Structure 1
Amino acid sequence: MPPLQSHSVTDKGHYRDNNEDCFLSKPEEGLWAVADGMGGHEAGEVASAIVRRTLDEASSRGRTLENAIVTSHKAVLKAASKGEGVSGMGSTVVALNSDDNDYQVSWVGDSRAYLWTEERDGGRLEQLTVDHSYVQMLLASGAIGADEVDHHPDKNIITQCIGSLDTPQIKVDTVRGQWQKQQWIILCSDGLTDEVDNASIAQILCQARNPREASQALLKQALDNGGHDNITIQVIESPLFSRSLLYKLRDWLPRITGHDWIDFSLYSLALCSAALIGYWTLR
């Protein structure tokens, strides 16, 4: 099976001097990951880079995704003890492994994975991951409601991360599924989800024509909404994704109105007009 179509973008945002996020993209091996480093300059970016390197090496050796993430936790702790980076540095991670028509998403922390399914009425967005965060614990216990999560003062406190000195053994959560037609999986750091709510993410994905356009549009929206943190986004396309003639035309037709059929009609009218002008000119 050929490598899946995907696109990855990252940006330091408007307020950070450096980018502590990083990503791993290996379509030929069916592996993608987003790591969001923590610990400040010369620490967070070191931790996230170690996570990326460890996942890359572990996948090449045939290790499971969960095992690779656990190994990255030990690697960050070991690096800090040897003076690489600083003690207490850490990182979140969300990773996708795709094998034929099956996929697996594993994560630690509050970086997220979403499943987008195109439908006749536009599409459906499903959050695959559950944040390892204090606010998520409050929500699960019933202490707060869903409407309080996005604006809770402690929403950025996470309950576990890679490299945490308080967590000798991390718990890697995993979801598995089977690809369907017209689906994308989106991996992202909280630089996206802190700035763009799920309804807006869904609207952007509904209008995007391919993974490149989707990731770039999401990044632009996060920056337009403030860009207070580093932002990293990956969009990976289902191996079963099929494109009709109109869908293929969408990829090269510039947008005018943002509505496919209207744009297609306008360009068809323009082509017919050009053909008629050419015909009458050559008569």
Structure 2
Amino acid sequence: MPYIAVTALSHVGLIREHNEDSLVAGPWTLCGTVTENPQTLLFPLGTPLVVAVADGLGGQPAGEVASALVVRQLASLGPSLDDEAAVSDALDMCNHAVYSAARDHPELLTMGTTVAGTVVLTESLLVFNVGDSKVFDAAHDGLRQVSVDDSPPLRPGQRTTSAVTQTLGGSHTFNAITPHVTARALSVDDRYLVCTDGLTDPVPDDELDGLLRAHDDGRAAFEMWKAAIAAGGPDNITFALVRLAE
């Protein structure tokens, strides 16, 4: 009987004072905290299962509040996310919720967050994002990004950028979003990596690919975290490996 294995980790890194990342896996959320070891959760295949990360905007107030609000809303809406339109509508609701919370509490003004994730359905998988958190297809023939970065074009020789062109919240006045949502076929042993840029900025894609090829989920998660820390751990590190198994 097929099932979904989700292996997740969230860590503050070596530079930041606190963790502004949040994560959702089904009804389970992890907000602004630290996991010392990868945690693996198993879910039955059937009811839509949302797995996502949210990265609170640095340099603006209460990023951890915005990211937590979004993943908790996605946890609540998760079982209803059965097609692309439902996911897009849910992200619009999250955007409105962030702006509403900031409007009601002046100390939260301009708080915002990115979000990226997957919804596992019985025979397919939905990929979504707003901002520059990422989703990768960790296929046997190589790691491929399947999310769409909301970032300005990179200059020659530039590998990463912290600039984003759309987020949930993040402005003094309301800005509508255009979520990226796509559907993909799903089969047993497919594996996806959902992550904030605290993993992908310091660790190149080819190094992540090598670690995912070499190790199973729990060990791969640990080794990817170690690689980000060895590269200086410049940001919060949050990610989940999503695998369809039987």
Q: TM-score, normalised by structure 1?
A: 0.73
SS of the residue corresponding to residue 66 of structure 1 reads helix
Please give the alpha-carbon distance, in whole angstroms, between the structure 1 residues aligned to 2:175 and 2:59. Answer: 22
Q: Specify which of 62, 67, 76 is matched with residue 43 of structure 1.
A: 62
- Higher fraction of strand: 2
Matched, 1:112 2:129: no
Give deviations 1:251-281, integer Å, cap 9, x for gaps.
xxxxxxxxxxxxxxxxxxxxxxxxxxxxxxx
Residue 42 of structure 1: how far off its partner (Å): 6.1
Q: Is the 8 A contact 1:112 1:188 kept in 2?
A: yes
Task: Report the equivalent of 1:129.
Answer: 147
Aligned with residue 159 of structure 2, among 129, 150, 156: 150
Alignment partner, residue 10 of structure 1:
10
Matches of 1:238 and 1:61, distance apart in 2: 20
Do residues 22 (structure 1) and 31 (structure 2) align?
no
Please give the per-residue CA displacement for 1:196-221, whole angstroms capped at 9, x wherever unaligned. Answer: 00110101101112x22221211111
Q: Is the 8 A contact 1:7 1:215 kept in 2?
A: yes
The verdict on how the C-alpha distance between 1:168 and 1:41 changes in structure 2, with shifts beyond 3 A counting, is closer
Partner of 1:200, secondary structure, is: helix
Asked if the contact 1:219–1:233 (Cα under 8 Å) also holds between the matched residues in 2, the reply is no
Match of 1:263 in 2: none
Identity %: 29
Q: Which residue of 1 aligns with 2:222?
A: 216
Describe the SS at the equivalent of 2:4: coil
Q: Which deviations, in whole Å up to 9, do the C-alpha atoms of 1:181-201 show, x marking residues without a partner?
A: 432100000000111001101
- In structure 1, the residue matched to 2:33 is none
**Is 1:188 equivalent to 2:192 in the alignment?**
no
Pair 1:106–1:85, CA change in 2 (3 A): farther
Query: How many equivalent pairs are there?
Result: 223
Letter of the 1:177 counterpart:
R
Relative to 1, partners in 2 of residues 1:25 and 1:85: Cα closer, same or farther, differing over 3 Å?
farther
Letter in 1 for 2:99: L
1:238 aligns with 2:237: no
Between stretches 14-23 and 27-36, larger displacement belongs to: 27-36
Bigger Rg, which one: 1
Gaps of 5+ in 1: 242-283
Q: Which residue of 2 aligns with 1:273?
A: none
Q: Give the counterpart letter for 2:130 in structure 1.
A: V
Report the CA distance shift for 1:20/1:178 in structure 2 as closer, same or farther (over 3 A): same
- Structure 2 residues not aligned, in runs of 5+: 27-42
SS of 2:16 mapped into structure 1: coil
Residue 236 to residue 62, structure 1, CA distance change in 2 (3 Å)? closer
Paired residue for 1:179, among 178, 186, 209?
186
Deviations 1:104-148 (A, max 9, x none): 111000000000112xxxx411110121011xxx25xxxx44xx2
For 1:106 and 1:167, how far apart are their aligned partners in 2?
Answer: 21
Structure in which a larger fraction of residues adopt helix: 1
For 2:21 and 2:72, locate their aligned partners in 1 and report how far apart those are by CA, in whole Å.
13
Aligned to 1:201: 208
Shift of 1:175: 2.1
TM norm structure 2: 0.84
- AA aligned to 1:20 is E
Report which structure shows greater RCO (CA 8 Å, sep ≥6): 2
Of 50, 65, 70, the residue aligned with 2:92 is 70
Distance 1:206 1:60 in 2: 31
CA contact (8 A) 2:61 2:109 kept: no
Of the candidates 64, 79, 82, which is equivalent to residue 104 of structure 2?
82
